[in-house]
Amino acid sequence: MVLRSDPDSLVRSMYMLPIGQTWPSRAGIALIGDAAHLMTPFAGVGVNVAMEDSLHLARNIITVKDSWQTGLPAALQKYDADMFVRAEEYAKQTWMYLGLFFHERGGIAMVEHFERARAREAAAAAEEEAKTTALPTEAAREESEKGTLETGGPEVHASVLEIPSPVVAGIGQHVE
Protein backbone atom coordinates (compact mmCIF):
# COMPACT_ATOMS: atom_id res chain seq x y z
CA MET A 1 0.00 0.00 0.00
CA VAL A 2 2.83 2.37 0.90
CA LEU A 3 4.72 1.56 -2.31
CA ARG A 4 1.63 2.09 -4.45
CA SER A 5 0.61 5.32 -2.84
CA ASP A 6 1.15 8.69 -4.45
CA PRO A 7 4.77 9.76 -3.80
CA ASP A 8 3.70 13.40 -3.46
CA SER A 9 2.74 13.35 0.16
CA LEU A 10 0.62 16.07 1.63
CA VAL A 11 1.92 17.47 4.90
CA ARG A 12 -0.85 18.55 7.23
CA SER A 13 -0.65 20.20 10.62
CA MET A 14 -2.30 18.62 13.62
CA TYR A 15 -4.24 20.50 16.22
CA MET A 16 -5.42 19.78 19.72
CA LEU A 17 -7.51 21.55 22.29
CA PRO A 18 -5.89 22.25 25.68
CA ILE A 19 -6.05 19.26 28.01
CA GLY A 20 -8.75 19.67 30.61
CA GLN A 21 -10.57 22.47 28.83
CA THR A 22 -14.07 23.03 30.17
CA TRP A 23 -16.81 25.58 29.68
CA PRO A 24 -20.05 26.45 31.42
CA SER A 25 -22.84 24.16 30.31
CA ARG A 26 -25.54 25.81 28.20
CA ALA A 27 -29.07 24.60 27.81
CA GLY A 28 -29.76 23.46 24.28
CA ILE A 29 -26.14 22.85 23.24
CA ALA A 30 -23.98 19.78 23.71
CA LEU A 31 -20.68 19.12 21.98
CA ILE A 32 -19.50 15.61 21.25
CA GLY A 33 -16.41 14.12 19.61
CA ASP A 34 -13.62 16.25 18.24
CA ALA A 35 -15.72 19.39 18.51
CA ALA A 36 -15.60 18.94 22.28
CA HIS A 37 -12.12 17.54 22.79
CA LEU A 38 -9.92 17.52 19.73
CA MET A 39 -6.79 15.58 20.54
CA THR A 40 -3.89 14.23 18.48
CA PRO A 41 -4.33 10.66 17.22
CA PHE A 42 -1.44 9.03 19.07
CA ALA A 43 -3.54 6.95 21.44
CA GLY A 44 -5.98 5.95 18.68
CA VAL A 45 -9.04 6.74 20.75
CA GLY A 46 -10.79 9.74 19.15
CA VAL A 47 -13.56 7.78 17.42
CA ASN A 48 -14.16 5.70 20.54
CA VAL A 49 -14.45 8.75 22.77
CA ALA A 50 -16.81 10.33 20.25
CA MET A 51 -19.03 7.23 20.28
CA GLU A 52 -18.90 7.13 24.07
CA ASP A 53 -19.98 10.77 24.12
CA SER A 54 -22.98 10.04 21.94
CA LEU A 55 -23.96 7.10 24.14
CA HIS A 56 -23.73 9.17 27.33
CA LEU A 57 -25.55 12.09 25.77
CA ALA A 58 -28.38 9.83 24.59
CA ARG A 59 -28.64 8.20 28.02
CA ASN A 60 -28.79 11.57 29.77
CA ILE A 61 -31.48 12.81 27.41
CA ILE A 62 -33.49 9.61 27.92
CA THR A 63 -33.54 10.19 31.68
CA VAL A 64 -35.59 13.37 31.11
CA LYS A 65 -37.72 12.14 28.23
CA ASP A 66 -40.94 12.78 30.15
CA SER A 67 -39.88 16.17 31.47
CA TRP A 68 -37.40 17.43 28.91
CA GLN A 69 -38.59 21.02 28.94
CA THR A 70 -37.56 21.43 32.57
CA GLY A 71 -35.05 18.59 32.86
CA LEU A 72 -32.90 19.01 29.76
CA PRO A 73 -30.52 21.71 31.08
CA ALA A 74 -29.58 19.53 34.06
CA ALA A 75 -29.23 16.46 31.82
CA LEU A 76 -26.85 18.34 29.52
CA GLN A 77 -24.94 19.69 32.49
CA LYS A 78 -24.48 16.14 33.75
CA TYR A 79 -23.35 15.00 30.29
CA ASP A 80 -20.82 17.87 30.07
CA ALA A 81 -19.44 17.21 33.55
CA ASP A 82 -18.84 13.50 32.81
CA MET A 83 -17.51 14.22 29.33
CA PHE A 84 -14.93 16.71 30.66
CA VAL A 85 -13.53 14.04 32.98
CA ARG A 86 -13.38 11.37 30.27
CA ALA A 87 -11.96 13.75 27.68
CA GLU A 88 -9.20 14.92 30.01
CA GLU A 89 -8.17 11.36 30.76
CA TYR A 90 -7.87 10.44 27.07
CA ALA A 91 -6.27 13.76 26.12
CA LYS A 92 -3.56 13.08 28.71
CA GLN A 93 -3.02 9.66 27.13
CA THR A 94 -2.63 11.07 23.63
CA TRP A 95 -0.30 13.76 24.93
CA MET A 96 1.84 11.17 26.64
CA TYR A 97 2.01 9.03 23.46
CA LEU A 98 2.78 12.10 21.38
CA GLY A 99 5.80 12.69 23.58
CA LEU A 100 6.80 9.07 23.13
CA PHE A 101 6.40 9.06 19.33
CA PHE A 102 8.40 12.23 18.82
CA HIS A 103 11.07 11.65 21.41
CA GLU A 104 14.61 11.20 20.11
CA ARG A 105 14.49 7.68 21.57
CA GLY A 106 10.94 7.30 20.26
CA GLY A 107 11.22 3.88 18.63
CA ILE A 108 13.16 2.34 21.51
CA ALA A 109 11.05 4.04 24.17
CA MET A 110 7.90 2.71 22.48
CA VAL A 111 9.25 -0.86 22.44
CA GLU A 112 10.21 -0.53 26.13
CA HIS A 113 6.78 0.85 26.93
CA PHE A 114 5.02 -2.12 25.32
CA GLU A 115 7.44 -4.59 26.89
CA ARG A 116 6.61 -3.20 30.33
CA ALA A 117 2.89 -3.37 29.52
CA ARG A 118 3.29 -6.99 28.36
CA ALA A 119 5.21 -7.90 31.53
CA ARG A 120 2.47 -6.35 33.69
CA GLU A 121 -0.20 -8.28 31.80
CA ALA A 122 1.73 -11.53 32.15
CA ALA A 123 2.19 -10.94 35.90
CA ALA A 124 -1.51 -10.18 36.32
CA ALA A 125 -2.46 -13.32 34.35
CA ALA A 126 -0.06 -15.45 36.44
CA GLU A 127 -1.56 -14.03 39.62
CA GLU A 128 -5.07 -14.82 38.41
CA GLU A 129 -3.96 -18.33 37.43
CA ALA A 130 -2.33 -18.87 40.85
CA LYS A 131 -5.51 -17.79 42.60
CA THR A 132 -7.69 -20.23 40.69
CA THR A 133 -5.36 -23.25 40.74
CA ALA A 134 -3.70 -23.05 44.17
CA LEU A 135 -4.99 -25.67 46.57
CA PRO A 136 -5.11 -24.31 50.11
CA THR A 137 -2.61 -25.97 52.45
CA GLU A 138 -3.65 -26.92 55.97
CA ALA A 139 -1.84 -23.87 57.39
CA ALA A 140 -3.38 -21.59 54.78
CA ARG A 141 -6.82 -22.99 55.53
CA GLU A 142 -6.32 -22.26 59.24
CA GLU A 143 -5.10 -18.72 58.46
CA SER A 144 -7.99 -18.21 56.12
CA GLU A 145 -10.45 -19.30 58.77
CA LYS A 146 -8.88 -16.76 61.12
CA GLY A 147 -9.36 -14.18 58.37
CA THR A 148 -5.71 -13.14 58.28
CA LEU A 149 -4.48 -14.79 55.07
CA GLU A 150 -2.79 -12.54 52.57
CA THR A 151 -3.63 -13.30 48.97
CA GLY A 152 -0.83 -15.20 47.21
CA GLY A 153 0.66 -14.96 43.73
CA PRO A 154 3.50 -12.90 42.41
CA GLU A 155 3.75 -9.35 43.59
CA VAL A 156 2.43 -6.90 41.03
CA HIS A 157 3.61 -3.36 41.39
CA ALA A 158 1.41 -0.46 40.49
CA SER A 159 2.88 0.60 37.22
CA VAL A 160 4.18 4.05 36.63
CA LEU A 161 4.77 4.81 33.04
CA GLU A 162 8.32 6.00 32.67
CA ILE A 163 8.04 8.29 29.72
CA PRO A 164 11.01 10.36 28.69
CA SER A 165 10.23 14.04 28.67
CA PRO A 166 8.68 14.97 25.33
CA VAL A 167 10.60 16.82 22.69
CA VAL A 168 7.74 19.25 22.57
CA ALA A 169 7.33 21.01 25.88
CA GLY A 170 4.11 22.25 27.39
CA ILE A 171 0.64 21.89 26.03
CA GLY A 172 0.45 23.30 22.55
CA GLN A 173 -2.53 24.22 20.49
CA HIS A 174 -0.71 23.38 17.32
CA VAL A 175 1.47 20.33 16.88
CA GLU A 176 3.74 20.23 13.82
Ligand X SMILES: Cc1cc2nc3c(=O)[nH]c(=O)nc-3n(C[C@H](O)[C@H](O)[C@H](O)COP(=O)(O)OP(=O)(O)OC[C@H]3O[C@@H](n4cnc5c(N)ncnc54)[C@H](O)[C@@H]3O)c2cc1C
Residues 6+ apart with CB under 8 A from 91: 16, 17, 19, 20, 37, 39
Q: Which residue type is seen at 116?
A: R
The least distance separating ligand X from the CB of residue 56, rounded to whole angstroms, comes to: 14
Q: Smaller CB distance to ligand X: residue 36 or 75?
A: 36
Q: Smaller CB distance to ligand X: residue 50 or 140?
A: 50
111 to 150: interface string for ligand X, x by CB under 6 A? ----------------------------------------
The least distance separating ligand X from the CB of residue 68, rounded to whole angstroms, comes to: 24
**Binders in 31-70 for ligand X, by CB under 6 A:** 33-35, 41, 44-48, 50
The least distance separating ligand X from the CB of residue 12, rounded to whole angstroms, comes to: 8
Q: Smaller CB distance to ligand X: residue 52 or 60?
A: 52
The least distance separating ligand X from the CB of residue 93, rounded to whole angstroms, comes to: 12
67 to 86: interface string for ligand X, x by CB under 6 A? --------------------
Is 101 a binding residue for ligand X by CB under 6 A? The answer is no
Q: Smaller CB distance to ligand X: residue 20 or 33?
A: 33
Q: Write out the chain in H/E/C secondary structure.
A: CCCCCCCCCCCCCEECCCCCCCCCCECCECCCCHHHHCCCHHHCCHHHHHHHHHHHHHHHHHHCCCCHHHHHHHHHHHHHHHHHHHHHHHHHHHHHHHHHHCCCCHHHHHHHHHHHHHHHHHHHHHHHHHHHHCCCCHHHHHHHHHCCCCCCCCCCCCCCCCCCCCCCCCCCCEEC
**Binders in 5-34 for ligand X, by CB under 6 A:** 33-34
The answer to whether 43 and 92 have CB atoms below 8 angstroms apart is: no
Kindly list the residues in this chain that would bind ligand X in the complex (CB under 6 A): 33-35, 41, 44-48, 50
